[in-house]
Amino acid sequence: MTIDLGRGLVLRNPVMTASGTFGYGEEYTDFVDLAQLGGIIVKGTTLHPREGNPYPRMAETPSGMLNCVGLQNKGVQYFIDTIYPRIKDFDTNVLLNLSGSCLEDYVKGAEMVDALDKIPAIELNVSCPNVKQGGMAFGVTTTGISQVVSEVRKVYHKHLMVKLSPNVTNIAEIALAAEADGADSVSLINTLMGMAIDAEQRKPKLSVITGGLSGACVKPVALRMVWQVAKAVKIPVVGLGGISNAIDAVEFMLAGASAIEIGTANFIDPAVSAKVVWGINEYCERHGFAQVAELTGALL
Amino acid sequence: MTIDLGRGLVLRNPVMTASGTFGYGEEYTDFVDLAQLGGIIVKGTTLHPREGNPYPRMAETPSGMLNCVGLQNKGVQYFIDTIYPRIKDFDTNVLLNLSGSCLEDYVKGAEMVDALDKIPAIELNVSCPNVKQGGMAFGVTTTGISQVVSEVRKVYHKHLMVKLSPNVTNIAEIALAAEADGADSVSLINTLMGMAIDAEQRKPKLSVITGGLSGACVKPVALRMVWQVAKAVKIPVVGLGGISNAIDAVEFMLAGASAIEIGTANFIDPAVSAKVVWGINEYCERHGFAQVAELTGALL
Amino acid sequence: MKQIVDFKLVGKQDFGRSALLRLHAECALPDMAPGQFVQVRVDGSPSTYLRRPISIHDVDFQNHEITLLVQQIGEGTRHLASAETGDIINVVLPLGNGFSMPEKGERCLLVGGGIGIAPLFYFAKVLNEKGIRPTLLLGGKTESDLLRLADYQKLGETFVTTEDGSLGEKGFVTMHSVWQKQSFDKIYVCGPKPMMKAVAKLASEKSVWCEVSLENLMACGLGACLCCVEDTVDGHVCVCKEGPVFNTRRLKW
Amino acid sequence: MKQIVDFKLVGKQDFGRSALLRLHAECALPDMAPGQFVQVRVDGSPSTYLRRPISIHDVDFQNHEITLLVQQIGEGTRHLASAETGDIINVVLPLGNGFSMPEKGERCLLVGGGIGIAPLFYFAKVLNEKGIRPTLLLGGKTESDLLRLADYQKLGETFVTTEDGSLGEKGFVTMHSVWQKQSFDKIYVCGPKPMMKAVAKLASEKSVWCEVSLENLMACGLGACLCCVEDTVDGHVCVCKEGPVFNTRRLKW
Ligand SMILES: Cc1cc2nc3c(=O)[nH]c(=O)nc-3n(C[C@H](O)[C@H](O)[C@H](O)COP(=O)(O)OP(=O)(O)OC[C@H]3O[C@@H](n4cnc5c(N)ncnc54)[C@H](O)[C@@H]3O)c2cc1C
Ligand SMILES: Cc1cc2nc3c(=O)[nH]c(=O)nc-3n(C[C@H](O)[C@H](O)[C@H](O)COP(=O)(O)OP(=O)(O)OC[C@H]3O[C@@H](n4cnc5c(N)ncnc54)[C@H](O)[C@@H]3O)c2cc1C
Ligand SMILES: Cc1cc2nc3c(=O)[nH]c(=O)nc-3n(C[C@H](O)[C@H](O)[C@H](O)COP(=O)(O)O)c2cc1C
Ligand SMILES: Cc1cc2nc3c(=O)[nH]c(=O)nc-3n(C[C@H](O)[C@H](O)[C@H](O)COP(=O)(O)O)c2cc1C
Ligand code: FES
Ligand code: FES
């Protein structure tokens, strides 16, 4: 089932877990043997520690949820000192999701992560809708994305995956800019910006009013964007957004994804990621695909 | 419960039915007394007849559906000759949803509709994602929207409501452009562009691959956009997207909508529109609002 | 007049993959013609957001009952087939246009394939009431697909094909010997599209009038959304409103 | 070790707005401490997309059973409370950290408000097993809110307040006369946030050690999503992982 995403990032199978939904992997070891996964992408990390947004940070929506965690994390240095030693020997690819509020933070953070032997790739989060000076500013224009990708590229020598925002008019254009400026792959989608109101209280349900929508409800949008981006770029595309089972995962691969990530579904079934690995295998056998990689773009 | 949207468009109550989901109203008279509604917005109409896209045109999704009807309609002249006489005496506001593939078609269509006494308003559809040279091209840039709104404004003298596409980076910017160029109100959202794949057949579920997502699943995105636009513009905002009951409708009004439209929910409960009218009333009584219009923007 | 009715499930017969549901309403039912269908609300599950179109299998106006014959295809029909007596099932009905009524004396063949036999039951019953005894030709993959066969047989001479030969003649309905032995004035078909197309072709070769009942994917069921269209000589028309029954001459098959 | 377990509902007691659910598992249950909770999958309905956190009300390790006390608040708890014997209920457990165990001889007061009494039952039971007989102070709006009162009374001296005075002393738990008459070494509280804050304030005035069990909105329940945070002296911490039980000194109340 091996998937080679380029520049040294080789996955045992196409299934990874999405940043912000799988902690540092440790939270799920009772449910999933991490060695069965293609990779895990750890929490969104920023150069400096962040307390994130106030509570309440989530609201349930039809077939999905909103969150406004706001990148709570203890910063890159804490990650290196405290978390990295605990998780570096996981028998799977551990990717760091790197976020920032200014160009310098991205560059400095990427430089520090470059030195970590056991982190084969950064997923560059230029698409977080939940922080004011959040990366999303970079992720919604071609000039913004070019800037951050080209600067990070200069200091980061391993696999650079750029995570795209769906809150844009033309996502293929943004993906092309990332590709042109040195991304090794793109992952999409991050959350759709949404809002929820408690009509009885006449108040927004989230502390900062808007948040990011994820879960099954966003799947049709995510699938469309993966299809559009995969047609446009030559680098591998990692698909995510609402994947809840193996058939969903296969759909993303048929639409052009080389690998996939599972996010919110981990909350509903903490063992889902391993089940998706088995299910993709089963699908390949049933449909006569010798290699999982053959699924990519195999729409008839 | 009266709602005055300006330039002669006065609604008995804030509830309208969304274009493309309520036919010409006639399809629902067994279930709803149209006189109980603030208005109905009839099918997307274009200057020239359109056969629409091939079958299949719809796919169910988690808490929603995709459609790619593609503006099937018999053209403005047919509407004037055949349909208008049948529906002009409905005891409610009948709005025409006007679409086009080029500027001239919009202008010509609006001119013809201007002459129809009993049509108090056009909802200008610059946001249909399901036709190749569809209006969406106009709806996703400020220059596009300025062009079509200002040209139509020259020939159309009644209430001009502009229906916005959610498939954009910054919807407030588009709304501001529409306002600046003469829109009397904006309605949002049209469908989110999405896609569905049948993994077993390895084929897209829709004939033209992508389609428009609607239904409960899009509500969080729609609500956020209504909130953003209502903060930005001074003209009334008409909110829609996933409204399934009175509480949903109230949420849109609290977020800043002056009126609302009900779309896909009509398919699930053909009587839902009238129920929403009662439910909004009930909410107003329970919360001590003397006028429904007071709900608009009444977030605490 | 179309209505939204809360029915109570009062009787159920299981046939493995299919189930016969007898639904009772408090109030009198509106007129319903054979070939018309209903839209059933399944429940609030995310994958059954829309209603499901199901043919009217039988009606008992006196007792305010309709009967549906449902085959498990996906989540919605699975849910329906596993409803329990006493459950409330919300239904919009009646929808679409039924089969054209033949003239007295016309020889009618009703061809059903798989779950497509569902609307033919009520149709055959009404034909009998009108003094017309139809011939039935029912096909399935295997014996167990021929649901309620004894009941159909009461309504007219009934021929059967199965693909595996487990019952009746082996093969498809179009291969049945009745086509050689008898001739008909009107043919009515409901079943999988390839089967309907094959019968339509046969009918057209024999220059026999033929109606088919289509099962296009639907959202509203009311002619409002334009999702269920079939390509016809008049362009795209709504199967839910102008059909589901169409004369084959109108179709671009 | 955390597990995902399919339980079968084997016993149910209805208390109007609440229900007591007795759930049986095929396999032996993992260790569970009083104050820990479980995440229950409700069903595939769109408005119960996420699991629901529910306290462990009681455990019977020998018979592989847990008991949940569920109050109907919205769709999810309504669905749970209307589950029927034989239904399968999927549960992730055990989650979070329980109450700190007191030393022998310490005088413990367990304060519960509304459905917040749920975790105190298992806690009181374990305390009794350890030879500590706690005092219980349970509050409700009205008499019928005091569920299983006789069972609680068996586990320790039990005082009651109701807002309408229909049972015990009238008013809030913080107004009960026991506060004047007795003193305690440790206070444990679970209930609505305003009530917990009031008790915490009282405890702090009396300089008594106090733990509260929070019910922040949760998504994962595993410490992975950071949605359920409470503001503490150590910053935002996850209630599901570092709580739900917190010493009030740690909270920024
Ligand atoms: C007018 C009409 C009358 C019908 N009468 C009956 C009846 O009497 N009894 C009965 O059992 N069924 C009948 N059907 C078919 C029935 O509506 C579908 O089987 C049902 O909607 C499937 O829903 P589901 O949730 O079980 O499957 P889904 O999960 O919705 O679908 C499962 C799979 O089947 C495919 N599928 C579903 N419906 C159709 C369709 N109509 N055409 C082609 N592929 C489809 C889907 O694309 C999907 O791949 C009728 C359909 C129509 C339009
Ligand atoms: C650790 C923990 C233990 C719990 N133990 C129990 C228990 O033993 N028994 C029990 O009945 N309940 C318990 N709860 C509360 C229970 O989880 C909620 O009542 C339930 O999730 C509501 O789901 P619902 O679908 O019924 O309501 P929803 O439809 O989700 O919500 C209905 C309304 O209640 C509000 N609401 C829901 N949950 C909460 C909350 N936790 N805090 C504030 N407002 C809320 C919602 O915002 C909404 O306005 C516990 C919660 C936690 C976090
Ligand atoms: C609670 C939560 C926290 C998230 N945190 C991050 C994050 O830190 N960095 C990031 O790039 N994406 C984050 N995401 C987005 C997910 O990684 C993913 O892109 C999105 O949820 C869509 O996938 P899904 O529908 O499978 O969840 C978060 C999502 C959720 C639900
Ligand atoms: C089947 C279908 C057809 C539609 N046709 C039109 C149309 O012709 N013109 C238009 O402006 N919007 C059209 N829409 C979009 C709806 O009017 C509405 O903007 C959208 O569905 C979101 O609202 P909802 O979630 O309440 O359905 C259509 C939607 C559906 C589902
Ligand atoms: S299903 Fe909507 S028009 Fe036929
Ligand atoms: S609920 Fe996810 S961290 Fe607590």
- For the segment D225-241, what is each residue's pLDDT rounded down to a tens digit? 999 999 999 999 999 99
- Average pLDDT for D31-49: 92
Average pLDDT of chain D? Answer: 96
B120 pLDDT higher than 80? yes
Question: For residue D60, what is the enclosing H or E element?
Answer: strand D58-60
Residue B293 above 80 pLDDT?
Answer: yes
Q: Please give the full DSSP string across chain B, using - where no structure is assigned.
A: --EE-STT-EESSSEEE-TTSSTTSGGGTTT--GGGSSEEEEEEE-SS-B--PPSP-EEEETTEEEE-----B-HHHHIIIIIHHHHTT-SSEEEEEE--SSHHHHHHHHHHHHT-TT--EEEEE---TTSTT-THHHHTSHHHHHHHHHHHHHH--SEEEEEPPS-SS-HHHHHHHHHHTT-SEEEE--PEEEE-EETTTTEESSTTSEEEEESGGGHHHHHHHHHHHHHH-SS-EEE-SS--SHHHHHHHHHTT-SEEEE-THHHH-TTHHHHHHHHHHHHHHHHT-SSGGGGTT---
pLDDT of A129 reads 60
Strand-strand pairing, C186-190 and C108-113: parallel
**To test ligand 2's pocket by mutation, which of D215, D225, D238 has the most ligand atoms within 8 angstroms of CB?**
D215
Rounded CA gap, B113 and A167, in Å? 35
- Which domains, ranges and CATH numbers included, belong to chain C? 3-95 (2.40.30.10), 108-213 (3.40.50.80)
Strands B39-45 and B58-61: unpaired
C58 shares contact with chain B (CB less than 8 Å):
no
Closest CA in chain C for residue A61: C46
User: How many C/D residue pairs have CB atoms within 8 Å?
Assistant: 14
Q: Return the minimum-mean-pLDDT range out of A87-96, B114-123, C36-45, C189-198.
A: C36-45
% of chain A surpassing 90 pLDDT: 94
pLDDT at C131: 95
pLDDT at D47 over 90: no
Task: Classify domain A3-55+68-191+213-295 at the CATH superfamily level.
Answer: Aldolase class I (3.20.20.70)
pLDDT of residue B131: 58
pLDDT confidence tier of residue B39, bands split at 50, 70 and 90: very high
Let me know: does D49 contact A218? Beta carbons within 8 Å: no
Residue C208, pLDDT score: 96
Q: pLDDT at position B139, please?
A: 87
Please determine, for residue D52, whether its predicted confidence score (pLDDT) is greater than 70: yes
pLDDT > 80? residue A185: yes
**Nearest 10 degrees: Cα torsion A80, A82, A85, A91:** -90
User: What tokens appear for C127 in the block?
Assistant: 């034909």
Question: For B210-217, what is the mean pLDDT?
Answer: 97
Identify which of D190, D246, D181, D209 has the alpha carbon closest to the alpha carbon of residue D106: D209
pLDDT tens by residue, C136-165: 999 999 999 999 999 999 999 999 999 999
Quick one: pLDDT at residue B127? 74
* Euclidean distance between CA atoms B249 and B241, whole angstroms: 10
- pLDDT category at A135 given cuts 50, 70, 90 is low
Mean pLDDT of A109-113: 98
The per-residue pLDDT of chain B, averaged, comes to 96
Residue spans of the domains in chain A: they are 3-55+68-191+213-295
Test the C interface: residue of D45, D75, D79, D84 with most C CBs within 10 Å: D45
Contact A211, D227 (CB under 8 A): no
DSSP-derived letter for residue D99 is P
pLDDT reading at B157 higher than 80: yes
Distance between CA atoms of C25 and D48, rounded to whole angstroms? 30
8 A C-beta contact, residue A98 and residue A45: yes
The residues, ordered by sequence, that sit 6+ positions from C241 with a Cβ below 8 Å of its Cβ are B27, C96, C97, C222, C223
Partner B contacted by C73 (CB < 8 A): no
Choosing among B58, B143, B169, B254, which should be mutated to test the A contact, i.e. which has the most A CBs within 10 A? B169
β-partners of residue A259 are A238
Q: Provide, rounded to the nearest whole percent, the portion of chain B with pLDDT above 90.
A: 94
Q: What does the block give as tokens for A218?
A: 């966003």
Ligand 2: distance of its center to the CA of A263 in Å?
Answer: 23
The pLDDT of residue A171: 96
pLDDT bin (cut points 50, 70, 90) of residue B133 is low
Rounded to whole angstroms, the Cα distance separating A188 from A166 reads 7
Task: List, for residues A9-25, the tens digit of each pLDDT value.
Answer: 999 999 999 999 999 99
What does pTM read for this prediction?
0.97
What was the pLDDT predicted at B291? 96
pLDDT-derived band of residue A131, with 50, 70 and 90 as boundaries? Answer: low
Evaluate if residue B217 carries a pLDDT over 80: yes
Give me A256's structure tokens.
């052009």
Instruction: State the average pLDDT for chain A.
Output: 96
In this complex, is the C-beta atom of D44 within 8 Å of any C-beta atom belonging to chain C? yes
Cβ(D218)–Cβ(D240) below 8 Å: yes
Ligand with minimal distance to C51 CA: 1
Confidence of residue D253 (pLDDT cuts 50, 70, 90): confident
Say which residues have a Cβ less than 8 Å from residue C216's Cβ, sequence separation at least 6.
B55, B56, C228, C229, C230, C239, C240, C243, C244
Q: At residue B128, does pLDDT exceed 90?
A: no
Residue B135 pLDDT more than 80?
no
**In which band, very low, low, confident or very high, does the pLDDT at A132 lie, cut at 50, 70 and 90?**
low
Q: Assess A63–C contact: CB distance below 8 Å, yes or no.
A: yes
Residue of higher predicted confidence among A1 and C195: C195
